[in-house]
Amino acid sequence: MYYEVIRACFCHCLFKEQTLNKFAKVVSDSKPSEMKMKFFSVLIVVAFLVAWPCHGSEYQVFPLQMKTGSNEQYTTQVSCTSWRLGVEANNLIKWKTVPARCQEYIADYLLGDQYRSDSKTVCREAYFYAKRLNITAKDVFVFDIDDTTLSNLQYFANHGFGVEAHNATAFKIWVSYGEAFALPETLVLYNKLVGLGIKVVFITERPLDLKDVTISNLKAVGFNTWEKLIARDPATYSGKLSNAFKTSERKKLVEEGYRIVGNIGDQWSDIVGEKKGFRTFKLPNPLYYD
């Protein structure tokens, strides 16, 4: 409410920052003898403008002042937050690495409360949605694995939090350890969905030769039951984009009689395309684009 009162009145009276600055300059440029008098004149003008009845100002706030040019005008914190929002809202696509200037911002985000809170908000919404459904035996909820179910944060902490170019070999070695921990908010959601009687189907870009270690890893951290776990068969999907693979596997599910009531992933490629599910959920991931 205080915004209405202060901004509406000041705006209507065209009493902008520039005017204030001009007054300040008049005062500071003056000799001491003149200063006192000018200061009081300024005070009177200010009092007059503030007291001016702001007719018709009900709908007024400051127009946002124009800034032009393409160079960076915001602090790193602000512009890195914008970069991350652009990624999450699918405005920024096909990027290769996190901007170098945002490395520390991304590290702080992932290791702090905001990432947890963002994930929790998504998972809670997914649960609230699911519990209103009338579940049948053929209803499935599709889960991605990497950075949806299992966290690769340990890996990325050692690879510049996304600033380094992707290293497929190193990443495969990391996955082969089977030591990823669970994303806690997703684990809560998973348990709640299983409790509601919804079957879980994992669809992962991980190749078939990493399926066993993936199963061990999932079980070790609390993901104990599922209807199917579909890994990528390199023979079938060689050279295909992630989205093509996932769409194709979802179509097979539907052809088998399943109904995809929900679909959750950390990449837009997980949750767009045909048979994407009745409702989709995008978990945060500012580390890579797939």
Contact set with its own copies (CB under 8 A): 1, 3-4, 7-8, 58-68, 70, 73-75, 78-79, 81-83, 85-86, 88-92, 107, 111, 113-114, 116-118, 120-122, 124-125, 151, 153-155, 157-158, 160-161, 174, 177, 179, 181-184, 187-188, 281-282, 284
Nearer to its own copies, 116 or 211 (CB): 116
Report the alpha-carbon distance of residue 128 to residue 35 in Å, rounded.
Answer: 65
Nearer to its own copies, 174 or 289 (CB): 174
Q: How far is the CB of 63 from its own copies (least distance, A)?
A: 4
Long-range contacts of 93-102 (CB under 8 A, 24+ apart): 93/268, 93/289, 94/289, 95/289, 96/165, 96/166, 96/289, 97/162, 97/163, 97/164, 97/165, 97/166, 98/160, 98/161, 98/162, 98/163, 98/286, 98/287, 99/163, 100/163, 101/76, 102/76
Report the alpha-carbon distance of residue 77 to residue 94 in Å, rounded.
Answer: 22
Nearer to its own copies, 113 or 255 (CB): 113
Q: How far is the CB of 284 from its own copies (least distance, A)?
A: 7
Q: How far is the CB of 56 from its own copies (least distance, A)?
A: 9
Q: How far is the CB of 200 from its own copies (least distance, A)?
A: 19
- For 74, the token pair is 């915001």
Could you tell me the CA-to-CA distances from 78 to 31, 119, 286 in Å, in that order?
41, 21, 15
Nearer to its own copies, 180 or 230 (CB): 180
Nearer to its own copies, 129 or 237 (CB): 129
Place of tokens 């946002």: 64
Q: How far is the CB of 52 from its own copies (least distance, A)?
A: 19
Question: Hey, which residues does 280 pair with through a beta bridge?
Answer: 263
Nearer to its own copies, 204 or 263 (CB): 263
Q: How far is the CB of 116 from its own copies (least distance, A)?
A: 7
Nearer to its own copies, 120 or 259 (CB): 120
E strands, 131-250, are 139-143, 150-151, 181-182, 199-207, 228-232
Q: How far is the CB of 3 from its own copies (least distance, A)?
A: 5
Report the alpha-carbon distance of residue 45 to residue 47 in Å, rounded.
Answer: 5
